[in-house]
Amino acid sequence: MPDQTTEPPSRDRTRRPLRIALIASSYNYIKDGVALTLNRLVAYLEQHGVEVLVFAPVGDAPAFAHHGTVVPVPSIALPRRPEYRLAFGLSRDNRARLKAFDPDVIHIAFAPDFLGYSAWRLAEREKIPLVASYHTRYETYLKHYWYVAPLKGALAWYLRRFYSACREVYVPSPSMVEVLLAEGSRDNFRLWPRGVDLDQFDPGKKSLAWRTQHGIGADEVVVLHVSRLVREKRTDTLEATLRLLEARGVPHRSVIVGDGPERANLESRLPRTVFTGFLQGEDLSVAYASSDIFVFPSETESFGNVTLEALASGLPSVCADATGSRSLVEHGRSGYLASPGSVEDFAGYVTRLIEDEGLRRDMAAAARDRSRTFSWDGTMARILGYYEALLAGTAT
């Protein structure tokens, strides 16, 4: 993976603007990390004179004010997980709209659905350069759901085949690239890390009023978790870790921010934990800054936006030693990397941080310093640079 500049390249403004067709399985019907990242990308591209047309499934109403022009594609609520939508292939009208747009590049933010497959085939037929961005380790999700677990091998094969067919694949972390190469993927990867808004996520937003609102004392140590509450985020490890801390009498308070199908089960088994539900904007920023330790046991991240937000908020982070987190948390400096699924590891590292205020303070400063190396403008400029180099025939 060659080094890339983070400034958008100069372009010949006498020709038509660059046109990008973005094919996304999640864009505005749910407010998750993938959708927010893609919206940031579209906003950045349009600010720099690029024309973008987004093809994506939509819900009854957008979950947030999205950027760009969205062309709805056929979809239904996903069985057993209705918060997500299963996209079908591009319709005849979709294909006509895409061809009329005449994109220079088709960029698929890929999920293993019919939408991605149909866009892949269209790009091949029309000889349009095809790129993809890697957001989620879908094949690792399956083991958490018995009714699809046997499909893991077939899905991994299909994903490798798709990514190998792309001119370039934009991957958010070096640790994710290492795993993909070890699994036999073709090396057409380019790094596309995520960024963080250091003004929004700031330790200075710590609020004693927020703590009081949730019945938390000024001197209590708050252990925080932020994510969608779904099995693939390893809510089982989170629950077991918090229960072990309580069983051992380790003084702390726990807060879980987020919502999802596992919330009711967690609430019943963690009666002393504060559940805030889904938070956004200033409410989310205050929740981070008013906590002391971040815990994130997920093994399925390709990057880990919430971990970066926690680091920016000055929280030492205890995360699974897995893709994404491994490229963010500096073990022993800004937090700890625990063996995936090891409750003893997680509880041990959290206990160490709870009991050593000086260690927490040092790691909090290191966490904030680490977050300063991630810029949204820089990471979006990188993608524009990739597009331009690809079309100029200078990509390496």
| CA nearest neighbour of 193 among 57, 1, 8, 378 | 378
Encode pLDDT of 270-284 as tens digits. Answer: 999 999 999 989 999
Express each pLDDT in 73-122 by its tens digit. 999 988 777 778 888 999 999 999 999 999 999 999 976 688 999 999 99
Domain 203-371: CATH superfamily, name plus number: Glycogen Phosphorylase B; (3.40.50.2000)
Q: Which residues contact 204 (CB under 8 A, 6 or more apart)?
A: 289
The percent of residues in the chain predicted with pLDDT above 70, rounded, is 90
Interatomic CA distance for residues 318 and 298, integer angstroms: 11
Q: One fold for both 19-195+375-392 and 203-371?
A: yes
Tokens describing residue 146: 């018995």
Q: In this model, does residue 48 exceed pLDDT 90?
A: yes
Domains of the chain, by residue range, sit at 19-195+375-392, 203-371
Phi/psi region, residue 302 (left: phi>0; alpha: psi -120 to 50; beta: rest), is alpha
Whole-number average pLDDT of the chain: 90
pLDDT tens, position by position, 167-179:
999 998 888 888 8
| Band of residue 322 on the pLDDT scale cut at 50, 70, 90 | confident
Cα 234–Cα 229–Cα 343 angle in degrees, nearest 5: 30
Task: Name the residue type at position 363.
Answer: M
CATH topology of domain 19-195+375-392: Rossmann fold (3.40.50)
d(Cα 8, Cα 34) in Å, to the nearest integer?
22
Residue 395 pLDDT: 64
The CA distance from 163 to 325, in Å, is 23
pLDDT tens by residue, 138-197? 545 545 554 555 656 677 778 888 889 999 999 988 888 888 888 888 899 999 988 999
Listing from the earlier edge strand, what are the strands of the sheet with 335-338? 274-277, 253-257, 222-226, 293-296, 317-320, 335-338
